[in-house]
Structure formats: structure tokens, C-alpha cells
Chain A
Amino acid sequence: MPPETNPGSNFAEYDYSNFYYGAGDDPMNLLGPFSEWYREALPNGYYLYSEPLQGAPETRVHVRNRKTGRIHDLINLASYNYLGISYRPEVKEAAIKAVEKYGLGASGSPILSGTFDIHEEFNAELARFKGKEAVVVFPTGYSANVGFISGLMRAGDSIILDQYSHASVVDGAILAKSNTVFFRHNNPLDLERKLGKAKGKKLVVVEGVYSMDGDICTLPELLEVAKRHGARILIDEAHSTFLFGQNGRGVAEHFGLDDEVDFHLGTFSKSLGGQGGFVAGSRKLVDYINAFGRSRFFSCNLSPVLVAGLLAGLRIVQKEPELRQKLWSNVAFLRRRFAEEGVDIGKSNSQVMPVMVNNDARVFAVAEKIQDRGLFLQPVTYPAVPKHKSRLRISVSAAHTEADLETAVRVIASVLREEGVCQ
């Protein structure tokens, strides 16, 4: 049944956006309609979200289908594990040794009892890798944006965000209580217009790689506008750190603008296959954010077990630049094959590739068929992306073989043709 009684309609007429706003006198009012809608949405495609993996996020995974309960052996095109680091033997061995030494968790805030020698060792090595004086580490990428932005900006200041900014960037701006305005995606002219009206301290936030479209930011143009208006610029390199640039520092390095960008943020959950986030910069900056980044010091520090694995992963990234080369070779292969098959991957110029379905009503059926034929990936639909811009999101990994990717192309292209999405 659709929400409450709505004869003749179906679940596809509603989406998450219909259950967010609701006036009335009881905060429970939206629970009933949402639950009713979700019960119908689940078997019609929403079961494809949160399907439990039965092992490591390798290029082949065993996944339990939430609709049938059956375990499927699938090619993994969904995990962020872009360099295949999370299950490398060195990483696992480091984590195992760390659990023997430290036990499970940090058991304290980083400003009290939760900092261990391994945290200091990792932070120093990460700062060296980024070519900065210091880093401040947060428990997640989300908390890094929230803690950094709200730690730096105040009421009366202006934060100017790309319209496709990640939720963590937006939430950081909300928490900062600054005036927040959005500029059109990657559009320096609109940034110029918005900065012209900005008051107080000004911060522009962009992302290295945008996670829904897989396009990289137009950093040189945006940076020029920001500097001309006296604004500072933060680049969130969640999906680009360890991948882009000669040394893998990110998109800022890729453009030769590492020193011009004021604040560099990254995460460990993507290319390092772990968890956590960081900001790299001057010692002064890190001291300040250590003091005022509330999402960091009011959280337990990262587990030393995880940090040991991250440290091993960071060393692999530095020691094996060929991993990045393999990733970009895989990306090039997949781009070429999709082009040959007439599959639209939008504006992607990174390892994140949206396979455009552009049909909100069909995207779940397409995704379901693709999973039935051996691929693990998820549909993305409104409101995460604009209406009728629904897609399947692919994360390419250096660990994929050409055979994996060729199979993926054939399955995707054949399903899209059957469903009338491409010729």
C-alpha cells in the first residue's frame, strides 16, 4: 500500500523527500506513512541497499540478497576500496599485531586518554605524505567536515558551497551557524556572484571528486575567483586522496595547486579501505582545530587496531605507485568499453562512474536484473540525484582484472538494451 490510503497510486509516486517535512503536533506523525511506504518500496528495489557482504570487500564478494535470503557470488563494483588495500595481507597482519598489543579500542577521547603511540606515528607519516606540517584526524570523514568547518567558521561568516556538496559539508556549515549559500556545480561565474554578496570571513568548499557524478572540481577557475574575493578554500578529497596527482596527494596536486589551496581534507574509508578522516595543513591550523573541532574531541579516538592497518596501507600507497597506474588503466579500459557499447557514464572523469539510466521508474528493475546476472552495485535515485537522473554507481578498483570489467560491461550493456535504456 502507498502511504495511508491512496487508491490507484504506487510506491514510486513517493520518495524519501516526501517524508522529511511534515507539520503537525506530533513528531511521530511521519513514522506511519513512511513505514507503510517503505514496506512497499523494500521488495520493489530498496532491498538492494544494505545487502550484507559475507566477507572482505574484494573484487568478488558473497552477498546475501535481502529479498530471497540467498547468497550470491558477485563481481564487486560497489566498494570504495579503490586500491584494494583493505584486505592486503600486510594490512591485516598489522591490525592483528595491533589488537594483540593494544586490545580493541582507544577507550578515550584523543585529548584525554585515547591517543596512543601508533596514532602519533600515523599522523606524522600522513603529514609527510601530504607535504604539510601536521594533520588532525577525526573518527570518520563525516565528522572531519562537520568538525573542521564548525571549528573554523562562526555566525556572521559566509560559507559558499558547491550545490553538490556532500551532506557532511552541509551539516558542518549548519553547525557553524554561518550564512550558507550554494553556487552552481563547478561554475566559477556563479561562485563569483555569490562571493560578491558574502560577508564576514569567507570559506569556499569544493570536492576533489564528486561522488554521484564522478567528475572532478574545476579547481583552477574556482580557486582564482575565491582568491580574488579574499576567500579561503577547503577541498574535500574524500574520493581523490591517494589516487590523484604525481604523489597521490589528491586533485589539488593533480592541478599543481597543492600550496594554493588553504585546507586539505581527506578520508581513510575510500582508498585506504579503513575508516576516519583528516585535515592537513600548518601546525597552527592543526593546533586550532585540535582545540575547537568538537566532533573529534567529543568522540573516542580511532581504534589503534584500525590505525595500525591504516599505517600499513599508507606505506603500501607510497611504496607501490603502480597501484594508481593500474587503477587509471582500469578506468581507461572501462570508459572505452562503455563508449563502444553506447553506455552513458555522464560527466565522469574519475574512478567513480555513474551508469546513467535516467528513468526513476525503471532504475530498480535494471539494478535487480544486473545483480541477478552477477554484479554487485547499487542504484542511485531521487532525491540523492535530480529527478530522472537515476543511475547505477560503479567504483572501479585497481584490483579489478580486465576480465572482471569486461564481464561488467557486457552484463550492464545487455540489461540496458533489454530495458530500452541504450541502443
Chain B
Amino acid sequence: MPVTIYGYRDAMSAFFEFPTENAREILPDHLEPVEVHHGTSIFAMTAFDFNESSVGEYGEVVMAVIVSPLVKPGERLPKSAMYPYLVATTTKAARDHAIERWHLPHFMEDIKLDFDRSTPNVGVARVSDMAGAPIAELKVAAHSFAPVNHLYQSFMADDSGKYLASIVMEGEQSEHEDEKGSIVLHDHAFNKALSIEDVYATPFRELWMRNGRQTFDPLKTL
């Protein structure tokens, strides 16, 4: 099976501290959360603005817990690994594609995802459901952009098994820990896995990639 490529205008991501207790409730047993401090794990929200894929242009939101990567001798060391526990897209075609190919757990309704780039060096992604009810608002700030090529791992698990996708992210990247961003999580079914009041609203890390592509190796069964 060949690699699968998705091109994006923006991938805005931020890492937030939340209780390890909450992370363990979300994670399947075979995955271990990475802790930023003892008792404090990492919740990551990423908003993608895809402009190239086999299912056309679409927006996607990924809610994930950062986990230990799988390290094997002789293989490239990943920058980090995640367990996406909920993915939502702006189109049904994108959702069906991701469920079928990547076994990603999805919010089964379309969402609205608006990117606001009107403030220099600040990106805002606003997520709402199709009825207009707000779900989340993610704000990230830019530091300085430089080209990167990074390997990430994405773990998935469903009734059919456990899976691992290796993903290379290429593009211009800004990464910093200036604590300039923010998240607002609304009381919505989309956010039911999180103990919202325990998610620290200021990200300790903001990672913004733009004008790049995401290359998936064929899915591995663990």
C-alpha cells in the first residue's frame, strides 16, 4: 500500500496540561501518557486546514493525548506520539475516508471550522456544530517559522484491533513555549471526555505548521 499524502495550509496545535487521571480514562490500556509533571499529562488540540487530499479540501479537528512513542532499534526516532481520541471533520467524505483507512474515532456529525488569521502572528480556530453551538476556540501565536521534516506516531484502537500510523509532517513550523495562546472548551457532547475545568487554558507549547504536507505510511497492526 503506498503512502497517503494530505496537503495543508495550516495545522494549528497547542499542548495543554490536564490531569493524568483524565488521560488514563481516555487512553486504552496499552498506551502510557507522557507527563509534563508528575500527575500532569498533555492534551493536544490541532486544527487542520487541508487543501489537498483524495477527498478534496476540508477542515479537521484532532483531540489527542500525548503518549510514549514506540521506539525500535534501527528505525527513525519519532519526535513524539499521540492517541487521537476524537476527530471531527467538516465533510462526510473526509470522515468516512479517515474511519475506513485509519480507524480514527470520529464525532459522527459534520462540524464548522473557521480559521481567523486577521491578527498578525496569531491564528484562531473556532469550532462549532452545524446548529451553531460552540465547541471550542483555539488560539495560537507564532514565534518564527522554519522548514522541518518531523516523524510522529499516531496510535489507534477500536473493536477490530490496535494500530499505529507513522506520519511525517513537513512544512514551515513555529514552535514555542511563550504561553501566548489559549483554549476555550464549551460544554458540548464533543468535549465529554475531558474534565474541562481541569484543562489549563493556557498552552505550555504552541506548534503551528503551515504550507506543508502530512505523509502517512501504511497503517500497521500492533
Contact = CB atoms under 8 A, between A and B. Distances in A.
Contact of B149 (A4, A8, A170, A182): A8
Nearest to A8: B149
Interface in B39-69: 39-40, 67-69
Interface size class of A (residues with CB under 8 A): 20 to 34
Chain A interface, DSSP helix/strand/loop, else mixed? loop
Interface string A174-216: 1000011110000000000000000000000000000000000
Contacts of B17: 182
Given A8-B149, A389-B177, A33 B71 contact: yes
Contact of B72 (A29, A161, A180): A29
Given A6-B77, A387-B177, A387-B205, A24 B39 contact: no
B130 interface: no
Given A23-B32, A170-B37, A388 B177 contact: yes
A4 B74 contact: yes
Contact of A180 (B38, B80, B175): B38
Interface in A1-49: 2-6, 8-9, 13-14, 18, 21-24, 29-30, 32-33, 37
Contacts of A170: 37-38
B79 interface: yes
Contacts of A14: 77, 79
Contacts of B79: 13-14, 18
Contact of A163 (B34, B37, B72, B149): B37
Given A21-B34, A388-B143, A389-B177, A180 B39 contact: yes
Contacts of A23: 31-32, 67-71, 81
A386 interface: yes
Contacts of A173: 38
Interface size class of B (residues with CB under 8 A): 20 to 34
A182 B77 contact: no
Contact of B76 (A5, A21, A163): A5
Chain B interface, DSSP helix/strand/loop, else mixed? loop
A36 to B, nearest CB: 9
Interface in A132-179: 161, 163, 170, 173-174, 179
A4 B77 contact: yes
Nearest to A387: B177
B186 interface: no
A391 B210 CA distance: 29
Interface in B12-47: 17, 19, 31-32, 34, 37-40
B2 interface: no
A181 B73 CA distance: 35
A6 B74 CA distance: 11
B75 interface: yes
Nearest to B33: A21
B109 interface: no
B204 interface: yes
Contacts of A174: 38
Contacts of A9: 149
A163 B202 CA distance: 14
A91 to B, nearest CB: 38
B40 A29 contact: no
Contacts of B148: 13
A174 B73 CA distance: 31
Contacts of A8: 149
B72 A387 contact: no
A18 B77 contact: yes
A388 B174 CA distance: 11
A29 B73 contact: yes
A24 B70 contact: yes
B102 to A, nearest CB: 20
Interface string B147-169: 01111000000000000000000
Interface of A: 2-6, 8-9, 13-14, 18, 21-24, 29-30, 32-33, 37, 161, 163, 170, 173-174, 179-182, 382, 386-389
The 4 closest A-B CB pairs, nearest first, are A386-B177, A22-B71, A3-B77, A21-B68
16 contacts: A3-B77, A6-B77, A9-B149, A13-B148, A18-B79, A21-B68, A22-B71, A23-B31, A23-B68, A32-B73, A33-B77, A163-B37, A174-B38, A386-B178, A387-B205, A388-B176
Given A32-B73, A163-B37, A182-B39, 15 more contacts: A4-B74, A4-B77, A5-B76, A13-B150, A18-B79, A21-B34, A21-B68, A23-B69, A23-B71, A170-B37, A173-B38, A181-B19, A182-B40, A388-B178, A389-B177
